[in-house]
Structure 1
Amino acid sequence: MKNGKKSFILIEVILAALVIVLSFVMVRGRSGKDFDKISVIIENSDDNQWSALKYGIKMAAKDQGVEVFFSSTAGDFTAGKLKNTIENELNNGADAIIVQPVSAPGIEKLLKKMEKKIPIMLVENNVEENKDSCVFSVTQADNYAMGIALAEELLKDYSGNIEGKTLGIISKSEHSEAARNRELGFKDGIKRTGARVGWSVSDFSGKEKENFLANQSKVNIVIALDDDSLTTAGEYAASNNFHGAFVYGIGNSTEAIHYLDIGILECLLVPDEFSVGYQSLTEISKRLKCYFYKMQSKMVSYDIIRREELFSKENQEILFTMSQ
């Protein structure tokens, strides 16, 4: 009898604990004030390279029944500015944040501190200060695979033979996980081809953006690893400042499409930014609706676009999301 009574009491305690936990989750989930506002923090938020990503976020927000707000950011996206922006969003009642992290010391520590208060989903880049301990979920394209694919497209145009060719590589930041993996993938893709990387430049901004290429030596091919770099290279090539060098790159803006359309770019890789936006918002919404849900990292696809197929039926959806 005593054992039976103990078992009965134990079951009652467990059930009571479950009721408390479930009540807590239900109250938080049903509250009109809680879990309804998601803030999005991305670099230069008004830049049209984010059009497809924003469109994806808005569509997912509509499907999930949550509100979404895009924080206004402009200029250099420093660690200090990111910290201040996140704190402002928290003070303004954000229940969760989707953020593009900057590559700077202390960012992982900062985000971990913030994540104790609200859910955080990363987009475009992960933080890599300590790969073994990094617990953030991130939605992004396979950057290494895009670098490999860019090398493959280049080799196709030269029938696999680029021996003796000199290449220049441009990326906005050499410190970001995305930039490093894209460059690593590209360099792995041209190993043992006999081609040589003449120069690799990054971290350009402000006045330097207009002049940083002028001091580089002449190359045969220019590889741009992100949208900012690609549009800068496109503008430079349009003025014939590359002296006939061919430009290949990764981008996701209407400017990038424009330079492809007028023949300045040979090949454009476009990451599926719509899916980055849609899936990141969907994941963080699931977390808000269920306290115990563990957000998943998502890898999205990319498309390879050539000028002759730019306006094909297959590419219409890509162009549509980029123009929203």
Structure 2
Amino acid sequence: MNDDHEIILPLVIGIFIVILFCVVMLIKGTNTEVYKVSVIVSNSTSDRWVNFKAGLEQAANDNNIRLDYVYTDYIDNIYTEASIINDEISQGANGIIADFCLSEGVEDVVDSISARVPIMLVETDVKAGADIRGNHATVMPDNYAIGRAIGNEVVIDYGESLKEMKVGIVAGNQNQYAMQERLRGFLDATGKMSPEVVWCISENRYTEDELVKTSEKKSADIVVGLDNNSMETAVDYFVAKKGGDVRLYGSGCSKKLIYYIDSGEVESMIVPDDFRMGYQSMSDLAIKLQNRTSALMDREVGYSIVNKENLFAGDNQQMLFPIVQ
């Protein structure tokens, strides 16, 4: 009889512990808070953001986050962008993901936002004050390396003859550190060949008009676009001209540019892993929201070099057309 008690008692205690654990987990699950994260990027409906948005959606789904992907037009004023962010916070956003249009002179903006909610910056880093709370960080590719990769592609194709070539650059938003680094990387990669840079245009609301006027005054043999907007602007103009001898290189990710890679209108293109950028920024922010003692950390995403020959290679296909679960 005593032997039976010695067997039954531990069994009953074990069952009780299992039941208690299940009840606790059930209560915890039903009380899990759903956090809202607002995402603010310039010209949010642009095809350029498709893979980025897919990464955001996948991470939001994986982490039980309510994603608010805010509709925006072209943003070139940091105070306009800050106003949109503040509106989102006042409407209940628990976290922010944003692509700042300006990298310098934004310390107060970053401090003001991160004092209320954590913020992940994407695409470009900014000049910001010390962050002892771990409430802001950046997810972006190595932009200097992207610039060098563009330059290396040009050097590989032209070799010594590059010394005799004239180069035009559509340089993205040069108010962003990211685009400054890409320009520096490109110039460093091509520097030994010393091609003549006949013009360099920074992105603004009138980039297309500036490109037309500038290229008519000084023709270029090679045109480089340092980001997706720059590449699309260059492609729209030079492909439409037809019959020209301009060769196009740069960085981008949109379906339009992929089409022009496939058709041979664009020689090669550096494609940042925008899906990973979206997924990583949302996942890190979710961890921060679920554990306020954790600290956001800067992250780096990769990129691929894409041309007509390797466009449909497995790794490139996965980056260009990610499958969302």
Calculate the TM-score normalised by the size of structure 2.
Answer: 0.83
Residue 212 (structure 1) aligns with: 211
Please list the CA deviations of residues 198-248 of structure 1 after superposition, one character each: whole Å capped at 9, or x if unmatched. 110113325x52453333311111110010110110111112379311110
**What SS is found at the alignment partner of 2:249?**
strand
**What SS is found at the alignment partner of 2:320?**
helix
- Answer with 278-287 or 213-222: which moved more: 213-222
Q: Which amino acid aligns with 1:294?
A: A
Please list the CA deviations of residues 228-283 of structure 1 after superposition, one character each: whole Å capped at 9, or x if unmatched. 11011011111237931111010011111122122211101100000000100111
Q: What pairs with 1:109-128 in structure 2 (closer than 5 Å)?
A: 109-128=108-127
Residue 297 (structure 2) aligns with: 296
Aligned: 1:140 with 2:152:
no
After TM superposition, give the deviation of residue 75 of structure 1 in Å. 2.9
After TM superposition, give the deviation of residue 66 of structure 1 in Å. 1.3
Q: What pairs with 1:1-324 in structure 2 (closer than 5 Å)?
A: 36-103=35-102, 106-128=105-127, 136-159=136-159, 161-206=161-206, 208-216=207-215, 217-240=218-241, 243-321=244-322
Cα separation, partners in 2 of 1:295 and 1:131, compared to 1, 3 Å: closer
Q: Which amino acid aligns with 1:306?
A: N
Q: Say whether the 8 Å CA contact 1:253–1:322 is kept in structure 2.
A: no
**What SS is found at the alignment partner of 2:241?**
coil
Partner Cα distance (2:242, 2:77) in 1: 31
Partner Cα distance (1:299, 1:283) in 2: 13
Q: Which amino acid aligns with 2:166?
A: T
Please list the CA deviations of residues 55-91 of structure 1 after superposition, one character each: whole Å capped at 9, or x if unmatched. 0011111111111110110133422221211111011
Partner Cα distance (1:41, 1:82) in 2: 8
Q: Which amino acid aligns with 1:279?
A: Q
Partner Cα distance (2:192, 2:30) in 1: 60
Aligned residues: 295
Cα separation, partners in 2 of 1:287 and 1:135, compared to 1, 3 Å: closer
Please list the CA deviations of residues 28-66 of structure 1 after superposition, one character each: whole Å capped at 9, or x if unmatched. x99655x61111111111111001001001111111111
Partner Cα distance (2:191, 2:30) in 1: 56
**What SS is found at the alignment partner of 1:266?**
strand
Partner Cα distance (1:304, 1:104) in 2: 27
Q: Say whether the 8 Å CA contact 1:236–1:242 is kept in structure 2.
A: no
Q: Say whether the 8 Å CA contact 2:103–2:127 is kept in structure 1.
A: no
Q: Say whether the 8 Å CA contact 2:103–2:124 is kept in structure 1.
A: no
Cα separation, partners in 2 of 1:298 and 1:156, compared to 1, 3 Å: same
After TM superposition, give the deviation of residue 296 of structure 1 in Å. 1.0
Partner Cα distance (1:117, 1:212) in 2: 42
Q: Say whether the 8 Å CA contact 2:168–2:199 is kept in structure 1.
A: yes
After TM superposition, give the deviation of residue 159 of structure 1 in Å. 3.3
Q: Say whether the 8 Å CA contact 2:163–2:195 is kept in structure 1.
A: yes
Calculate the TM-score normalised by the size of structure 1.
Answer: 0.84
Q: Say whether the 8 Å CA contact 1:174–1:203 is kept in structure 2.
A: yes
Cα separation, partners in 2 of 1:152 and 1:107, compared to 1, 3 Å: same
Partner Cα distance (1:135, 1:281) in 2: 14
Partner Cα distance (2:243, 2:96) in 1: 41
Q: Which runs of 5+ in 1 are unaligned?
A: 1-28
Q: Say whether the 8 Å CA contact 1:254–1:323 is kept in structure 2.
A: no
Q: Identity of paired residues, percent? A: 29
Q: What RMSD over aligned residues (CA atoms) do the two structures have, in Å?
A: 2.7
Q: Say whether the 8 Å CA contact 1:254–1:322 is kept in structure 2.
A: no
Q: Which amino acid aligns with 1:107?
A: V
Cα separation, partners in 2 of 1:142 and 1:238, compared to 1, 3 Å: same
Partner Cα distance (2:280, 2:103) in 1: 26
**What SS is found at the alignment partner of 2:224?**
strand
Residue 15 (structure 2) aligns with: none
Q: Which amino acid aligns with 1:256?
A: L
Q: Say whether the 8 Å CA contact 1:101–1:125 is kept in structure 2.
A: yes
After TM superposition, give the deviation of residue 192 of structure 1 in Å. 2.0
Cα separation, partners in 2 of 1:162 and 1:210, compared to 1, 3 Å: same
Q: Which amino acid aligns with 1:45?
A: S
Please list the CA deviations of residues 12-43 of structure 1 after superposition, one character each: whole Å capped at 9, or x if unmatched. xxxxxxxxxxxxxxxxx99655x611111111
Partner Cα distance (1:159, 1:79) in 2: 42
Larger Rg, first or second structure (1 or 2): 2
Q: Which amino acid aligns with 2:261?
A: L
